Structure 1
């Protein structure tokens, strides 16, 4: 990354960093998609087992890996402050934490997975597939969490195209191993949905090894000497990562788990309504990759500028990112409005489900507008290392306002299932306003601090 002067230069650098992040996020989104769909072509029960396993794993992984995202603003600020000699030590502490987190997840999973699955009244084969899929996945958890640290380091230097290439490389690897292990091709064992878990674990090991090779052999990463020396565990540096990372992790967990909670609450509705809800939610999650990618780009750029003590540049990047997100949300809203029936047709041909999905997609339009404000501001605040308010805003918007309001509107009004979406939209709007006010306060405080230093 380099210092930018004009808004045109900032826009160019933001897009340069943003585009690979977007492709990377879509690639990671696709990996889970291939696990589910390829298992579905094997058998419906294997599809159900993998889908249940994924629904249990994704909120846990996204929340805990969020802790490791603290490496991004830490490295970005060190790089901006030209303190590159401290980067390797911070990255190594992140790797230590990643291994510890993975081991804890595996240990807790071994204890509570059976009781959770037993309480879900699943068919025996579906339960076995879900259990064994997650058991197979556990063999790739240590490299997966480690990869998140290495990816954060690479991205923090602005080299997001590298992680894009690694992710795009991982997709065909995952698909090939899925094909070999799910269907038992070319002498490989026929494992069904369980094979998807084995394939994904193998993929996690490979992308981690590829990342280590690139970091050790390619500039500018090799200049930092990440693996050149052994670094002892540092409680102070680990504490810094946890202080920033735990609020990020909880914030992401609150966000991902709320949709799982709504899906469980909606089990009281008929099958057509549940299918429509899931279809519209899947497409809304796909569109969310846009503001999420902008958020991740802003963490890198704002962190870099704050590290270099260029508060005005950090401020300009923040609002530029929010502006782009709102513009894209407007375009997505128009697409949803005009082509909602065509989009619904991607998921179903049943006329009842298609009509309901199209109606849910209208509510997804308002999701986009709130996310366009909330997600980029979250990323900007992380660049400032200001994460506690983001955590509280997520708790407030989703669990204090969104879910209770949605439940009341779904159960005690004629809105039915749509009440949950209205509740979540209202919660998102409140969260967006809170984060907006926080960003304004953080930027004002940073400017005042600069003025005091200069005087």
Structure 2
């Protein structure tokens, strides 16, 4: 990353960092997609088992990996402040913490997995596949969490193209091992949906090893000598990571788990409604990769400029990113409005489900605008290391406003299942307004006076 002196330079640098992040996020999204769809080609019950296991795992993983995202603003600010000698220590402490977290997840899961699945109304084979899929996935948890720390380090240097290449490499690896282990090809055991869990775990090990190799052999990463020195555990550094990371993790968890909760509550509706909701939600989640990627890019750029004490530049990056997100949301909204029937046709050919999915996609229009504000603003606030408000905003907007309002509208009005979407849209809008107000306040009260004093 370089210091920029004009909005045009900032826009160019932000896009150069953003595009690889976007491709990376789509790649990670696709890995889960291939697990589910390839299992579906084996048998419907394997599809159901993997889908259930995945729906339980994704909120947990995204929430916990969010804690490790704290490494990004920490390293970005150190780079901006030209304190490169402190980077290796921060990364290694993040790795120690990631390993402990992975071990705790495995231990806790071994205690609660069976009671959780037994409490669900599942067929015996579906429950078995979900259980064994999650067990298989657990063999890759340690490298997965470690990879998230190493990815945060690489991204914080602005080398997002490297993580993009690693992710794109992981996709064919994952698909090949899925094929071998789900269907029992080339002498591999035929494991059905459970095989996709082992395939994903193997993929996590491979991409982590590739990442370590790149960090140890390529510039600029070798300049930081990440693995050259043995560092003792530093609880003070863990405290710093957790202080920033825990609110990030909880805010991500609240965001991802709310949709799982809505899906559960919608089980009272007919199959066509549930299928339509899931299809529309899947496409809305795909579109969310755009503001999410902008959010991650802003964390890097804002953190870099704040570390260098160029607060005016950090502010400009925030607003450039927000404008890009809003423009893209408008474009995506237009696509949804004009082509919602064709988009619905990607998921189904059933006329009733097609019609309902198209109606749900109309509500997804309003998701776009709120996401275009709240996600980039969250990223900018993380760059400032201001994370507690984002945690509270996620809690309030999703769980205190969105879900209760959605339940009331779905249960006590003629809106039915659409009521849940209206509730979530209202919650998202409140969260977006709160976060935007916080960003403006931070820039005016905490950082603008510093800039004026410096001038």
Supply the RMSD in Å over aligned alpha carbons. 0.8
Partner Cα separation in structure 2 for residue 125 and residue 236 of structure 1: 47
Corresponding residue number in structure 2 for 1:404: 404
Contact 1:311 1:446 in 2 (8 A): no
In the alignment, what sits opposite 1:217?
217
Q: Deviation of residue 124 (structure 1)? A: 1.1
SS of residue paired to 2:227: coil
Q: Distance in 2 between matches of 1:157 and 1:41?
A: 41
Whole-Å separation in 2 of the counterparts to 1:134 and 1:160: 30
- SS state of the match for residue 185, structure 1? coil
Moved over 6 A (4+): none
| Correspondences of 1:236-385 after superposition (within 5 Å) | 236-385=236-385
Q: For structure 2, list consecutive stretches of 5 or more residues without a partner in the other structure.
A: none
Matched length = 455
CA contact (8 A) 2:311 2:451 kept: no
**Shift of the alpha carbon at 1:450?**
1.1
Instruction: Specify every segment of 5 or more residues in structure 1 that has no aligned partner in the other structure, as ranges.
Output: none
Aligned to 2:130: 130
Where in structure 2 are the equivalents of 1:98-177 lying within 5 Å?
A: 98-177=98-177
Q: Is the 8 A contact 1:84 1:224 kept in 2?
A: yes
Compute the TM-score of the two structures, normalised by the length of structure 1: 0.99
Report how far residue 449 of structure 1 moved.
Answer: 4.0
Per-residue CA deviation, residues 400-440 of structure 1 (Å, 9 max, x unaligned), is 10000000000000000000000000000000000010000
Q: Does the CA-based 8 Å contact 2:182-2:193 persist in structure 1?
A: yes
Q: Judge conservation of contact 2:312–2:451 (CA < 8 Å) in 1.
A: no
Note the alpha carbon deviations across 1:61-100, whole angstroms, 9 max, x for none. 0000000000000000000000000000000110011001
Contact 1:341 1:355 in 2 (8 A): yes
Cα deviation, 1:275-325, whole Å, max 9, x if unaligned, reads 000000000000000000000000000000000000000000000000000
- Structure 1 residue 43 corresponds to structure 2 residue 43: yes
Secondary structure at 2:191 match in 1: coil
* TM-score, structure 2 as length reference: 0.99
Distance in 1, Cα, partners of 2:237 & 2:117: 38
Q: Partners in 1 of 2:42 and 2:85 — Cα distance?
A: 51
In structure 1, C-alpha distance between the alignment counterparts of 2:450 and 2:227, rounded to whole Å: 36
The SS at the match of 1:232 is coil
CA shift for structure 1 position 447: 3.2
| Aligned-residue offset at 1:448 | 4.1
Contact 1:299 1:379 (C-alpha < 8 Å) held by counterparts: yes
Q: Is the contact made by 2:311 and 2:448 (CA closer than 8 Å) also made in structure 1?
A: no
